[in-house]
Structure 1
Amino acid sequence: MSARVLHVRPPDLVGRPGLVRPVPVDRAGTSGPTPKQARGRAWRRSSRGFYVPSDVDGESPQQRVLEASVLVPGDGALTGWAALAWRNVRWIDGCDDHGSRRPVTVVTPGCRVRPRPGIEVSHERLLPGERLSHDGVVVTGPLRSTAFEVRRAPSPVAAVRWLDLVAASDLISLEEMRAYAETLTAWAGIDLLRWALRYAEENVWSPPEVDLRLTWTVRMGLADVVCNRPVFDLEGRHIGTPDVLDLRAGLVGEYDGELHLAGKQRAKDLRREGDFRRVGLEYVTMVASDLPQPADFMRRTRDARARARRTPVSERTWTITPPPWWVLTDTVAERRALTAWQRDRFLRQRAG
């Protein structure tokens, strides 16, 4: 009687709990499932010839990336959202604006990978220096990955959002992206990338802030708008850090999602609004229903700006000039210069 072959379970990826790299069939059952086991319920086929245990979450963005990684040829890499999700850029879930799963993109100069459900192939030029291995997966660098998504973005707002969110992770700076864009002279979508760079910010704390800011700057043509800039009174006390601030009019703009509608957070928001008003700032709020149809928010903005302009600049009791002891975190360069302790202390709020 032959010995019973037990199911082998691939270990979780080191440093990535819950993520399992696909393995090929192994007739001995020591490094992967046997052919019979692979046909059973305990295993799920991730791609032709590769399997993962069936209880592994195949909907997880990073698991989808890991399952696609075994298909990457020697001259290729994963790019776009998949490469950025693998680098732990926040807010990237691998879905489009309608909640549908987007394919993982394999970029390769050759033709050794075929498109299939969940996988698309790009044959754009790929230089050796644009490929890197991160936690065992070959991806394109952050500049290449971000530019790929910006150039293919379905709308100008979406293009700016990609730049904002990746810059918020400190993987790229806008200065670095501008220099990189100069190397993509005739690439498809380069004009959209250049346009988006005009409106991008390095200090975004949430995706809806992008829509709020662009409603002011692009739709309404407002100038001197800053994002997440700390506001102080004239004695140097920190009043608050608004989502966006119209410096010319003295107007705070905030986005309130579901978290802000009830309980302690609502009370905190009301106190915060009062603090801004006491130093002479007007206040306007965007809510979720304003995102697809911002006309009413724009009317509220115009009304609030008219009220704000009644306070002469000479009578303002607020400033964005920080006191000498304040640690600046407004730009990628400033955040990269922080020590580990400073990052934990001063960037904790945006990581929450």
Structure 2
Amino acid sequence: MDPSHITRAGIVLPVRVDSTGVDGPKYREIATSRWRACGGGWHVPSSVEPTREQRIVEAACAMPTTGAVTGWAGLAWGGGRYFPGVTGGGRLLDVPVALDNRRRIRPRPGVELCEEFLKGEDIEVLDGLPITRHERSVCRLLRTTANLEERVRVLDMAAFDDLCSPQEVLDYAVLRLAGRPHVSRIWQAVPLADENAWSPAEVALRMEWRAQVSWAGLVTNAPLFDLAGNHLATPDLIDPRAGVVGEYNGAEHDEEGRAVRDLDREERYRDHGLEPVVMIGMTRRSRAGFAARLRSAYERAARRRTPATWTLEHPDWWVDTSRVQLRRALTDAQRSVWLKR
């Protein structure tokens, strides 16, 4: 692939060797520490910071014209904010490059070669870089990820940035992937996905809640209103039948101003007949603590006798943004108001 076609700002474009030294390094220079090779005869100065997008471009340099970036890298290039290309422990992930099963290139560090069927309709060009369509990129991640919660997180976070909905992923998998290795991982994850989750932590909250209360009818980020139509809050999760709401509080909630707002919100929930429960952290110990608090919240909700003064029914002035299709239909002005998250 010729990286000179890349138009995205912030990328340092790789260059080929130039005997004059005008448009690229001279042959004797590429052997020094001042330059690093990107594959395919392309080079960038070693001083260039290997940001997420920069790594993607450099990995794509040796890609044939029939290839495309896929997996986490394709989703990141497409605007996926929750596909950083690093593990939770900080290890850089290889950039996956999709190839058809007839074209081989030499393996090199930092690049994962995905040699499988690849048709032209699976590829789109964004800012000069060929990437696989988002549904295929998601399916690649789902098929190569053993952990179920992580697969659900992939689906939810692809939907968060409106790259593709779980239903679009399922439709693509049914049409194109039946019989492929590990396709059952897609079938397992899609029914558990939610296209209105707003962070990976919320996925952990929902999955743990389901593990503890399998019959709960959970709704994600549903706005709550009082009986006069005023917006009360938008909890991370709510079980409307039980009247239990759940929030995930990360480290940022320790800030004094945020902590005060959290307490005020919890009091507001109770004033309107709801029982709040909070999850803090995703470790085994913190999940065990959440499970105990969740059981207590359901017990308190069952004993509550005061009438509920909240509703999930949207007033006329509210704009529903709970699904990918609805968010895509918003105007820019509406997005600036309703998608401030």
Aligned to 1:38, the other structure's residue is in SS state coil
Aligned residue for 1:331?
A: 323
Q: Distance in 2 between matches of 1:182 and 1:53?
A: 44
Deviates more, 1:89-98 or 1:160-169: 89-98
Supply the distance in 2 between the matched residues of 1:141 and 1:165 (Cα, whole angstroms): 16
Moved over 3 A (4+): 10-15, 39-42, 289-293
> 2: CA distance between counterparts of 1:190 and 1:292?
32
- Normalised by the length of structure 2, the TM-score is 0.93
1:246 aligns with 2:239: yes
User: Could you tell me how far 1:328 is from its partner in structure 2?
Assistant: 0.7
Instruction: Give the alignment partner of residue 310 of structure 1, picking from 290, 293, 303.
Output: 303
Matches within 5 A, 1:202-351: 202-288=195-281, 290=283, 294-311=287-304, 315-348=307-340, 350=341
Matched to 1:221, the amino acid is S
| Alpha-carbon distance in 2 for matches of 1:31, 1:141 | 33
Instruction: Work out the number of aligned pairs and report it.
Output: 337
- Aligned residue number for residue 72 of structure 2: 81
Q: CA deviation at 1:248?
A: 1.9
Change (3 A) 1:102 1:144: same
Q: What is the CA deviation profile of residues 47-98 of structure 1, one whole-angstrom value per residue up to 9, with x for unaligned ones?
A: 362211222111x111110101111112211110011111120121101233
Please give the alpha-carbon distance, in whole angstroms, between the structure 1 residues aligned to 2:4 and 2:180.
Answer: 41
The gaps in structure 1 that reach 5 residues or longer are 1-9
Q: Does 1:198 align with 2:183?
A: no
Amino acid at match of 1:227: T
Give the secondary structure class of the aligned counterpart of 2:24.
coil
Shift of 1:31: 2.1
Distance 1:324 1:258, change over 3 A: same
- Is 2:60 aligned against 1:69? yes
1:45 equivalent in alignment to 2:49:
no
Q: Which has the higher contact order (CA 8 A, sep 6+)?
A: 2
Work out the percentage of aligned pairs sharing the same amino acid: 39
Question: What TM-score does the superposition give when structure 1 sets the normalisation length?
Answer: 0.91
Contact between 1:43 and 1:51, CA under 8 Å: does it hold in 2?
Answer: yes
> What RMSD in Å do the two structures reach over aligned CA positions?
1.9
**1:174 Cα deviation after fit:** 2.1
Distance across 2 between alignment mates of 1:228 and 1:260: 18
Letter in 2 for 1:329: T
Alignment gaps of 5+ in structure 2:
none
Point out the more displaced range, 48-57 or 227-236. Answer: 48-57
1:232–1:320 CA contact under 8 A, matched in 2: yes
